Each structure stands twice: as structure tokens, then as C-alpha cells.
Chain A
Amino acid sequence: MSDSEEPQQKTVIGIAFGNSNSSIAFTSPDGKAEVIANEEGDRQIPSVLSYVGDEEYHGAQAKSHLIRNPKNTIAYFRDFLGKSFADIDPTNAHSSAHPIQHESGVAFSVEEKTDGEPSTLTVSEITTRHIKRLQESASDFLGKKIDGCVITVPTDFSEAQRRLLAEASKASGLEVLQVIQEPVASLLAYTAREETSHPADKTVLVLDIGGTRTDAAVIASRGGMFTLLATQHDYELGGRQFDDALIDHFSKEFIKKHKTDPRENERSLAKLRLECEATKKTLSLSTSAQISIESLAGGFDFHSTVNRLRFDLLSKKLVDQIVGLVESVVKKAGMDLSDINEVILAGGTSHTPKIASRIQQLFPSTTAVQAPATNPNALNPSELSARGAAIQASLIAEFEAEDIEQSTHPAVTVTPHLAKPIGVVIHSPEGDEGKAEDKVYVFLDAETAVPARRTATFVGTNVGGDVLIRIVEAKKESVDVTPPKEVKEKTADEDDEDDDDDDDDDEEEEEEKVIKRVTEVEKVIAEALLKDVKKGQKVEVMLNVAGDLTLTITARVVGGKGGIRGTVPGRAQ
């Protein structure tokens, strides 16, 4: 194979394959994932192919052909892969080559030769050509042949669609090592950035606002392992709808001046759509943007400006819809908004500052919202999937295909997850106040996959003596912590006016309720007694839950000898 003495290093990439845009990324030798720009300098490469004469155009070049050559330009084809013609929604493909019925499902008819004979290209074939171009861009950039890739797909992609995608890629000469889910890739892009071998346990919402669809997923991240708890999709909500809001706004302005509606002419609409998308992108970075189109309709040029405030107003309904989707997916996971520790905003539309600020308002201030508008250290939302895929590709690059197959098999992925949080309550001798007494310290949160183990250190006692450690299953509850009446009376001046309009006191109180999530003991599993702990000594507790739910506790004084160890057998035994 290789004529050098060095062990053969495989060159692998991550591919984010989207309906609107695709991107490619690789992992540099120092372990950092980087997104690759194609020869046109684009990191977000439009998933568009266009045929003019004998030439094939790809990416941004092909996208610009949507104006002059829409019938031979193929766009928004990913979601058609592996679908029957009856099951697809062709709306987005209306302004480009129309999907047609084919024995394999969906195809397109385009003229790809100068002789003018139209050829029928299946969605699989288009996917193959698209991946081939992406692969060439990556190969040119890295100066090496690409040996394999990891591709991301939405969570609602079926097994058959994943298999077809892998086959389409293989037909382009690029081996797919693994097909992974978009939200999981985005989460991996963030967790890989944390410089710790023990990532924090947290529940994460990944909100992927793309061009033609929006996908939300709630993921339990426990010990660096991820479990999808709930997903939800909206196929009529995305960047295109935000573009539409601008298109309508500018069209009205144009009609006022020239009495012609640019939306009524296909070519004018295509021009307007392309420019509105660019204007929208500018509005994510600055507070005002210009739009300028030569000969938009009826031979008239169009110049105008729009500020961000106006755009926020135009798109308010869409942002409300996004908020609705978030609330709905959290509910589907059986959770409360305050149970979400982190929100990751992914997808191109997540650059919109208003979306990030509305999401931040929706969640308690303790919830981290990862978006450029709310966190200056956030990663680029458009690059998350590709980065995650590149990281995963580098992790499995040296694996044999059989190893990957076995490691991703359901026999390995289907795992028992804890139904309840497991923690300890530390009781120490009487008179010992102001410590963690009667508070549940959660070691292993609900939805943690087993086997798992966690260790924590406590100050055992402030007075010296025996320390009682209770291992408990906990429950999270919403508790009303509304401040008592007397506190409220301080603001009586403000309330007075309300009282006049509204006689019903109860209703008013309900509005002011403050709900807090607390962790309480559900049942005590076992107790352990650690004898003769001296004042101020630290106690280290380790909990280990085995695959059969056998729980082992080890508790000892830090630096001391002995300690106690106990085992609660799993039910199966």
C-alpha cells in the first residue's frame, strides 16, 4: 500500500449534509476540529447543483443559477432521499428543477449536455455528485486523498435513508465510517472543547434552526455519554420563512414606487430571494443592512435599507413559533424548562440575535445559551454538525469496519438508564449545623446509563463523631417559594391600582407565584455509618452502579485508613 515506513495515517473528514447548505471539516493534528472552505472560499456550501451546457456547477455558483437557469438547477434534495414521490413535500423545490416520480422514488429531469436531451437523475445520483464535489474540495485543501468520512443526518432519518446515503457516498468513492445524528454532533462539538476527562452531567437542548426546517432535541449528557430523550421537528419553519418576511416587506415597498409586484415574476422573485437572504445575514452582524438589485422587475432597479428592529418586528411570529417548539420538546421529554442546563443553538438561522435573546428569556438565568449573541465564546452555529462529525471521524479513523459495526450495534447501545437520581444525605451528630444536612447531594442524575460511578468529597462533621450516610433515590419537585405577604406589602403602592380593577385576590396571587425546582428524598436505599470522624475531616464517598443495578458504596476519611464499603444487590439477583 504505502511505500513509506511510517504507520499509515488515515485522512478522514466530517460532512454535514443539509437541505440548504453542507459543510466539511477535519481534525487538525492537535485535535482541534476545523471547517474547510471550498475553492470559492465558502464554509457553508449550498447543496445545489446546476447544469449549463456541458458544465456542472456546485455550491454558491450553482445557487446563483437559480435566477437564470432554474429548470436545470437542483436544490433542496436531501430530504427526498429514500422517500416515495407521494411522501415528499416539493414546496421548496418549486423555484428550481421540479422533483418527478421515478421507480426508485424521486428524480429530477435536467439538461446536462449541450445536445439538449434531458437526463433523469435520481436523488441518490445527485447526492453522489454533491458528495463527490465536497470530497474534492476537502482533498484539494488537505492535499491528500480522503479515506473516509462521518456524515450527519437529522434524527428523523430512517435506517433506509441512512443506508442510501452511505451507498450514495460510496458511489462517489468516499467510504462512510458512520452516520451520526445532527444534534448529537453539535453537542460533541461543544463537549470536545471542554478540557476535562470528566465532562459535567447536564441536560442539553439542541435547537437546530436550518434553512427549510427546525429540529429540537433534548439530550441527557452523563459522564460524556449522550442519550436522546425527545425530538421534535417543524418542516415549515426555517431561514426561508425569515427570508419570506423580508421579501414581503421589500415587495410592498417596490409596489408603492413602481406598481409592479416582483413576487409575480419567477425571475424577479428568485433575484429578490437571493438578495434577501444576504440582507438577513448582514442583519445578524450589524443593526442595519442595505439591499440593492439591478433591474428587479419591469426594468426598475431597487435600492433600500432595513434596520434590525424592523426585521425583528417582521419575524416576531416566526420567533414565537420557535419558542413554541422549544416548550413542546421539553414537555415531551417529561421535563420542566428549569431542568435544562444548557441550550445549544445550531444551524445558520441561529445567528439571528433576536432568537438567542428570546431563548435566553425563556429559560432561567442559570441555563447557558450557546449562541454568538448570548455568549462571546460560543462556536459558530453553522459549523457545529460538521465539527462534531470531524471529531467523531478522527476518533474512529483507525477502527476496522467490523469494530465500528459492533460498537454501534443495538446490543451495545441499548443500555439501562437510571429512572431516578441517586444521591446521598449526610447526617452527622446533633448540634452540627450549617452544613449539607438533609440536603440531597445528587451523584448520578436520572437518565444516567449504567454502569456508572461518581466520587465526591464532603466535610464530614464540624464537631467530631460518627457520620451517617444515607444513600437515597431522589425526586425533583416544583415547589412554590412565593415570598410571604409582608414582603409584597412593600410594593403596595403599585398593587393598589390593580386591586381596583381586579377584585379577585386569588388570581392575582397566582400570577406572582415563584416556582423553584428542588430535589427531595424519595426513598432511602441503604445507610452506612462511618465511625469516629474527627472534626473538620473530609469524607470521600464513591457510588458505583453496575450494569445489573448492583449499587456499591465506598466511604472513607480522606487520608485515613479503612472506611466502609457496602453493596446493594440488583433486583435480578
Chain B
Amino acid sequence: PAEPEWPHEGGFHILEHLSEPTHRNLEPVGPHYLAHARRKRHHRTFSEDDRI
């Protein structure tokens, strides 16, 4: 069987950017929101938060 065609260097190739997001209001309710707010207020990423 033929391999997929891959004329690019390395294993990764960018074609486009993500579409502009819409700004909406999250409901400040529930455990997952509170975790989100905590990360946002302390400027932490997911992996940093996981370690704590």
C-alpha cells in the first residue's frame, strides 16, 4: 500500500489559523468553573494546575 504523500519537512505542517472566537459569559457555577476561575486568576495552565 502507498504511504500518504508528505512533501513537508518534519512531522507537522500548518495551513490555517483557528476562526475568531465569540466572547461569551460563562456561568460562575459548578466545580469545573471554580477550577477554571482559579487557573485564570493565578495565570496557571492545565498542566501546572494538575501538579498542584
Contacts and interface: CB of A to CB of B under 8 A. Distances in A.
Interface stretch (A262-270, A352-360, A565-573): A565-573
Given A447-B24, A449-B26, A570-B18, A199 B32 contact: yes
A185 B37 CA distance: 18
Contact of B21 (A192, A549, A569): A549
Interface string A376-406: 0000000000001001100110000000001
Interface in B11-25: 11-25
A225 B6 contact: no
Interface residues on B, range: 35 or more
Given A419-B19, A568-B18, A395 B27 contact: no
A432 interface: yes
Chain A CB within 10 A, most for which of B2, B4, B29: B29
Interface string A346-376: 0000000000000000000000000000000
Given A412-B41, A414-B23, A429-B3, A549 B32 contact: no
A288 B40 CA distance: 56
Chain A CB within 10 A, most for which of B20, B24, B28, B32: B28
A171 interface: no
Contact of A414 (B20, B25, B34): B25
A529 interface: yes
A86 to B, nearest CB: 30
Chain A CB within 10 A, most for which of B20, B26, B41: B26
Contacts of A199: 32
A432 B2 CA distance: 10
Contacts of A188: 29-30
B34 to A, nearest CB: 6
A484 B4 CA distance: 35
Contacts of A184: 27, 29
Contact of A395 (B19, B20, B31, B45): B31
Given A185-B29, A225-B32, A226-B27, A527 B17 contact: no
Nearest to A404: B28
Interface residues of A, number: 76
Contact of B32 (A219, A223, A570): A223
B26 A413 contact: yes
Given A427-B4, A465-B3, A225 B22 contact: no
Interface string A516-536: 000000011111111100000
A225 B3 contact: no
A417 B22 contact: yes
A416 B23 CA distance: 4
A468 interface: yes
A224 interface: yes
Contact of B33 (A226, A451, A546, A549): A226
Contact of B41 (A181, A406, A449, A465): A406
A178 interface: yes
Contacts of B36: 225, 449
A430 B1 contact: yes
B25 A227 contact: yes
Interface in A112-169: none
A449 B22 CA distance: 9
Contact of B18 (A406, A468, A525, A527): A525
Given A199-B32, A465-B1, A449 B24 contact: yes
Contacts of A407: 28, 34, 37-38, 41
Nearest to A183: B27
B25 A571 contact: no
A417 B17 CA distance: 15
B26 A524 contact: no
10 contacts: A224-B31, A226-B26, A229-B24, A410-B25, A414-B24, A429-B1, A526-B12, A526-B13, A529-B8, A564-B11
The 9 closest A-B CB pairs, nearest first, are A224-B32, A566-B12, A416-B21, A408-B28, A564-B11, A407-B37, A226-B27, A468-B4, A429-B1
Interface of A: 178, 180-181, 184-185, 188, 191-192, 199, 219, 223-229, 388, 391-392, 395-396, 406-408, 410, 412-420, 422, 427-432, 447, 449-451, 453, 463, 465-468, 473, 523-531, 544-547, 549, 551, 553, 564-566, 568-571
